[in-house]
Amino acid sequence: MKPASLRTVNEKHDAAAETPARNAALTTDPVCGMPVEHDKSVAGGYTETYRGETFIFCSDKCHKKFQQDPAKYAVDRLRSAADSGSGRRND
């Protein structure tokens, strides 16, 4: 590995991207669309299983909103899962 002073800008960027915080598994909250760290949300209890799919939320507020009308937020994800399972592709 090159010393930091000899790395190109892209190499420095790539090295920064390898930090543990950036490598955390991210998912998207289906209610607000915010990127969410999977492990933190699971540890906080911000998960819900609906029709066999597990959804992850950024906060209790979004979790409760989902619970009030899960079909409203789950429809796109469930449709995508059904399409991929049938071999269909979105054009």
What is the arithmetic mean of pLDDT over 32-45?
A: 92
pLDDT at residue 51 tops 80: yes
Classify residue 47: in a domain, yes or no. yes
Give me the pLDDT at residue 91, please: 45
Q: Are 4 and 12 in contact (CB under 8 A)?
A: yes
**38 lies in which domain range?**
19-83
Give me the pLDDT at residue 10, please: 54
Classify residue 35: in a domain, yes or no. yes
What's the number of CA atoms in the CB half-sphere (13 Å) around residue 62?
A: 22
Classify residue 14: in a domain, yes or no. no
How many separate domains does the chain show? 1
Classify residue 65: in a domain, yes or no. yes
Classify residue 88: in a domain, yes or no. no
Neighbouring residues of 70: CB distance < 8 A, sequence distance ≥ 6 = 48, 50, 55
Classify residue 1: in a domain, yes or no. no
Residues paired with residue 37 on neighbouring β-strands, in sequence order: 26
Classify residue 56: in a domain, yes or no. yes
Classify residue 53: in a domain, yes or no. yes
Give me the pLDDT at residue 55, please: 94
What is the arithmetic mean of pLDDT over 1-27?
A: 57
pLDDT at residue 77 tops 90: no
Please give the residue that has the higher pLDDT: either 53 or 86.
53
Q: 78: burial class by Cβ within 10 Å (0-12, 13-18, 19+)?
A: middle
